Structure formats: structure tokens, C-alpha cells
Structure 1
Amino acid sequence: MVRPLPGINNDTRFFWTGGENNELLIFRCEDCQYYIHPPVRFCPKCESRNVEPSATSGKGVVTSFTINHKQWMPYLKVPYVVALVSIAEQEDVRLVSNIVHCDLDDVHIGMRVKVLFEQNEDLWVPLFEPDVTV
């Protein structure tokens, strides 16, 4: 799927390029181990500024989703799933992404998923697919 690409900066580059090494990278506080997303260089839990990208398992759970039927852009193939995925390491870290490689009717809240990456130019967009290893 061709998609609009995000603007990136020094605080987000790691998130959009980690997929080159098949890693879902999320900022993590080096002092209290709290994951932080969207990425900011400040830990809201302990107020540390000792925050660095950290590889996650790439696994998660669908906490909410919608099936989009409107073709917002001429090159987008519809329908597609837009989901809120909580990462396995910390439930309150949620990523907005697409669920792929399954029937739309099979997507459900509580569905276990794993990350895969779609390369677009020099960025790797994290998408999720059913985790059948569970």
C-alpha cells in the first residue's frame, strides 16, 4: 500500500528506521525502565531525561480498531483496518497502525498481533499481523 509518510526529526527517526533491522524501537527511561510513546526526551513517570530508544518484542494486543471504507486518497486500497495496538511490554503504550494479512472479519479487540515493517523510501512503517505463535 502506498501511504503518506511522516515527517521525521531527531526524536522520531529511530522509530521510523528501526524496521531496517526488524526492531520496533520505543523510547525507554534508562532510570526507571518506563516506555514513552509518542517519543519525548523526558520520562513522565520519574522525570528523568535519561531516555533512549529500546527494542521491544514487537508483540502487542489490539485494544481498539475501525475498518475504513472511505478512499481518502486515490491510491489507498479500501477497506483497511486502523487499530490501536498496546505493546506487550507496557499496556499504556499504544501505537496507531494497520492490521494486515488477515480477513477483516477476524480482527477483534484482544487479538494478539506482531509487528512487521513496510519499507517506503528510507523509512520502515510498523504494521501488525496476527500472532499465530501464541
Structure 2
Amino acid sequence: MTEPRKLPVPQGNPETAPFWEAARQGKFMIKRCTACGEPHFFPRSICPFCFSDKTEWEQSSGEATIYTFSLMRKSPTGPYAIAYVTLKEGPSLQTNIVDCDMDKLRIGQKVKVVWKPTDGAPLPFFTPA
């Protein structure tokens, strides 16, 4: 039996520290601009829509829909699925789809966040809902 792949420790910075602290509590955080109302991910202090610095943290439901995906069947670490998912709150992000039958993945499929441990904060991935 092969040993599970060891995931890298996330390298945060002061701007993303609240995201990683919430991750330790199993919470997936996004930012929302209070000037234009748009949610965004990855978390950053400047809104990518209106360039305002009036952003605040908001907990995401962790629910998403697969927008597109690609299956990597030949890899030194084994097969994996990489995808863009659209969060229920609106932002899209690139992620891996884990703990699933890759042959059953479909565009439009509902997924949810799942946390995988590292030697630091856990990393968010998505799995079929």
C-alpha cells in the first residue's frame, strides 16, 4: 500500500492570515467589497472589480458547482482531477476534486469544500456533494 501524498504547508502572508486561521477551524472564507458588493476569491484587500480597499471577510457556504475540469491520468503522484468551480456566493476558483470516482465527474455537478491536513493550516479541496 502506498503512503498518502504529503501536501505542502500553505505559505500565508499578513493579508491572507485570516483565511488560514479560519481554515484551521474548518471555515472557507472569501472577501466581499463593501463599495460595490462583489464577492471575490482569492482573498485580497483590494477589490478586483472596483479597486476599492473597502473589503471584508465573509464565510462561504463551501458549496460550489463544477464549471470545467480536466483529468490527469498519468502523473508521478497518481491520477487527479483539476477543476474550476463556482462558489454559491459567486467567485470561481481553481482546485482539485478529491475523494471521488473521477469517471463520474460532470460539468454542472455540485461539490463542497473538504479540508486536507498539512503540517500547517489545512488545504481546501472540493468533493462531490
TMscore range, shorter length = 0.7 to 0.9
CA RMSD in angstroms comes to: 1.8
Give the letter aligned to residue 114 of structure 2.
L
For 2:73, the aligned partner's letter is H
> When the two structures are superposed, what TM-score results if normalisation uses the length of structure 1?
0.82
Deviation of the 1:124 alpha carbon? 1.4
Contact kept, 8 Å, 1:17 with 1:122, in 2: the verdict is: no
Separation of aligned partners in 2, 1:56 and 1:89: 7
Bigger strand share: 1
Alignment partner, residue 54 of structure 1: 58
Q: Secondary structure at the match of 2:23?
A: helix
2-structure distance, mates of 1:2, 1:123: 13
- Runs of 4+ aligned structure 1 residues displaced above 6 Å come to none
Q: How many residues align?
A: 125
Percentage of identical aligned residues: 32
CA 1:70–1:14: 2 relative to 1, 3 Å: farther
Q: State TM-score, norm by structure 2.
A: 0.84
5+ residue gaps, structure 2, are none
The 5 A counterparts of 1:28-107 are: 28-72=32-76, 76=77, 78-90=78-90, 93-107=91-105
| Structure 1: unaligned runs, 5 residues or longer | none
